[in-house]
Structure formats: structure tokens, C-alpha cells
Amino acid sequence: MACAYEFKETLLTLSGVCLKLGARPVLNDLSAEVRNVVRPGLVQGQVVAVLGPSGVGKTQLLRLVAGLTTPDRGEVRVGAAQEPVSCGKVGVVAQTYPLFEHRTLLSNLLLAARRGGIGPTEARERSERMLARFELAEHASTYPATLSGGQRQRAAIAQQLMQPKSLLLMDEPFSGLDPVMVREVCRLVTELASLDEELTLLVVTHDIAAALAVADTVWLLGRVRDATGASLGARIVERVDLMERGLAWQPDVTHLPAFEATRREVEARFHAL
């Protein structure tokens, strides 16, 4: 059964984005938006999964939304104020979960806070809250090299959230994980979405089942081709609304018949991207 919700202000806009790498077109007139999803009585952020085959341009799209790359044409605007994106305005959790190996976990968070202009007292208080929130308090004095992959991932997310962000990008968060860890990461993404009403998570992945399990919306990124079959670059060729299908925010969603039907539908579409 679908849950009650309504759309409010726009939080992310990609408008006519085009990008080439050398002479090779990567993204072609890509447009999309994410709007604030409001559920009565609940804090509900947005989770958008970007699905596409290897080499289609998912990483370049992530870099554009992060403000790390400037499009050749078009624009990216973020937040309720719809300001042009710039480097540092968006949180990015990369596949490698980069942390300073010579610093303890607490020191990593304190450094992130100071870089964001947060004073010493507030930085320590916020760091301790984040460590507790992500079940890492007992590892405050631990160095990153001794953390498990799941702990490093949580630490990297906490690091990005030390400064208020309206958009958090996650690059292939399910890659190389066993089924138990995939479920754990899905749980973490769901929890993150409940932290802030305006927080949007953009999850870039090729794991169809995991994407459908955590997202409220799926963007399928596929190539546009000319009459000869040559690629003109990629754009979002289809948007799958999981809210409308009653698959968003459902416990044990993977057991619902509609989930499996949607998975097969997206998988069939995926092979043509």
C-alpha cells in the first residue's frame, strides 16, 4: 500500500547538462530534478538511485553534481535556495571511503569540522554526536586502518555530515559487498534519509535490487545514439517512481510481489541502456 506524501520545493536541478571528455560525448542534454518529499508526521529525506551500465557516465554525472567538474553546457543547482553547485557544497562518499590514516577517527571528524569553520567546542560536541549516531563512539581513538569496511563507510559519511549538507552523493556503496553487508548498507541509507527533511541522497550504483530496496526514485542513465548507432552521450532516459508503485519506505520491501516485478522490468530495461 502506498504511503501518504506530497511534493514541496525543488532541492536539486540538472538543466540541459552536456559534457565531453576530449572529443567523446559523455552526457547529452541531461535534465532532471529532485523535489522535497514530505510525509505527514515524519522526517523524510529523498533517496534517488542512479542506475546505468559500466562506462555510461555515472561517475562523470556524480562529479558534475558534486561541483568537481563544470559542464560544457547547462547547469546544476542545489538546495532549497537553488544555488549553483560548487566544490564543497555537496557531500561525497567515495568507494574508497578516504580518511586520513595518520589521524584517529575523532581527529578526522574534528578536522572536517574545522575546515567548515566550526569552532573548537562545537566541533568536539558535533564529532562526539556523530560518532554516537553512527555507532562509532568506542572507536574514537582508533586509526582508520584498523576499522572494518562497514565502519570506514559509516565514518566517511559522518565526516561528510560534519558540515550541514543538503545533498550527499554515494558512489557505488554496494560494490564488492556480500549479501549481509548489502542489507546493512541499505539499512544505513534508510536511516540517513530520516536525519533531515531536506537531505537528498543520490546513490550511484549498478546493483538493481539494492537500488530498488533503498530508493524512492530511480533514474536510468542510458546512451542516446544517432542513426548509425554511435553514442551521442548519455541522459536520464527513464524515471521509475517507487513511491507511486507503493515500494518506497516499506519494511521488507524485497518480499513484496511488486518489488520482484519491478526488478525484472528494470533489469530488462537496463540491458538496453
Q: Based on the domain organization, do 17 and 123 belong to the same domain?
A: no
Angle at 187 between CA 260 and CA 39, to 5 degrees: 80
239: closest CA among 14, 83, 2, 66? Answer: 14
pLDDT at 98 over 80: no
Residue 260 Cα to chain centre, angstroms: 23
Q: Based on the domain organization, do 32 and 155 belong to the same domain?
A: no
**Which H helix or E strand runs over 185?**
helix 179-193
Cell numbers found for residue 150: 562497514
User: Which one of 164, 193, 211 terminates a domain?
Assistant: 164
Q: Based on the domain organization, do 182 and 255 belong to the same domain?
A: yes
> Mean pLDDT across the stretch 135-153?
89
Q: pLDDT for 1-47, tens place per residue?
A: 568 999 999 999 999 999 999 999 999 999 999 999 999 999 999 99
User: What would you report as the CA-atom Rg of the chain, rounded to the nearest whole angstrom?
Assistant: 19
Q: Based on the domain organization, do 122 and 193 belong to the same domain?
A: no
The CA distance from 203 to 215, in Å, is: 8
The CB density around residue 159, as the number of other CB atoms within 10 Å, is 23
Q: What local confidence, expressed as pLDDT, does residue 1 receive?
A: 57
The CA distance from 166 to 186, in Å, is: 20
95 occurs within a structural domain: no
The CA distance from 111 to 41, in Å, is: 36
Q: Based on the domain organization, do 156 and 173 belong to the same domain?
A: no
Domain residue limits at 26: 6-90+167-270
Contact criterion met (CB below 8 Å) for 190 and 157: no
Q: pLDDT for 159-203, tens place per residue?
A: 888 877 889 999 888 887 788 878 888 888 888 888 888 899 999
Q: pLDDT for 214-223, tens place per residue?
A: 999 999 999 9
Q: Tell the residue number behind the cell numbers 561541483, with chain if given.
A: 67
Which pTM value belongs to this model? 0.88
pLDDT band, residue 258 (cuts 50/70/90): very high
